[in-house]
Amino acid sequence: MLALLADEERYAFDIVRTLGQVDGMVTAEGTLYPLLSRLHKDGRVTTRWRDSDSGPPRKYYAITAEGRSALADFVSEWTRFRQAVESLLAKGSA
């Protein structure tokens, strides 16, 4: 979710729909909203209202400095984990 916000601010529906379309990521889109609220509460994203071309104003989410550092931590952790799994699988098939 933070990765989605790394380059641009987005509104909640857009975030949820984009994640929902990634195969195998999300089984229930609704469960992403509490996650978004938690990121906001923890200061990893900020919100602001912006007018929309169609319909009422939308609340846009943008990543904060704290959010970026959490994202960087996760990316390095994830890379380590992925490499570990890949090396294990490589041993298994060898």
Partner 1 sequence: MNATAHRLVDSYLGALDEVARSLPRRERDELVEQIRTHLAEAVTEDMSEADVRNVLDALGDPHDIVAAAGPVRAPVRRGAREVFALLFLVSGIPPILGWLAGLGLLISSPLWTTRQKWLGAFVWPGGWFGLFILVATPATVTAGSCTSSNTFLEPNGSTVITGCASSHTITPWLWAPGVILAVGLPIVVAIYLWRVAGRRSAA
CA distance 16 to 22: 10
Name the minimum Å distance from CB 28 to partner 1.
Answer: 2
Q: Closer to partner 1 at the Cβ: 31 or 69?
A: 31
For 13-82, strand residue ranges (E) read 45-50, 58-63
Q: Closer to partner 1 at the Cβ: 33 or 81?
A: 33
Q: Closer to partner 1 at the Cβ: 21 or 79?
A: 21
CA distance 78 to 71: 10
Report which DSSP code applies to 64.
-
Binding letters toward partner 1, positions 2-41, x by CB under 8 A: ----------xx--xx--x------xxxxxxxxxxxx---
Give the CA angle between residues 27, 74, 16 to the nearest 5°.
Answer: 30
Residues 50-79 that bind partner 1 (CB under 8 A): 55
Residues that bind partner 1 (CB under 8 A): 12-13, 16-17, 20, 27-38, 55
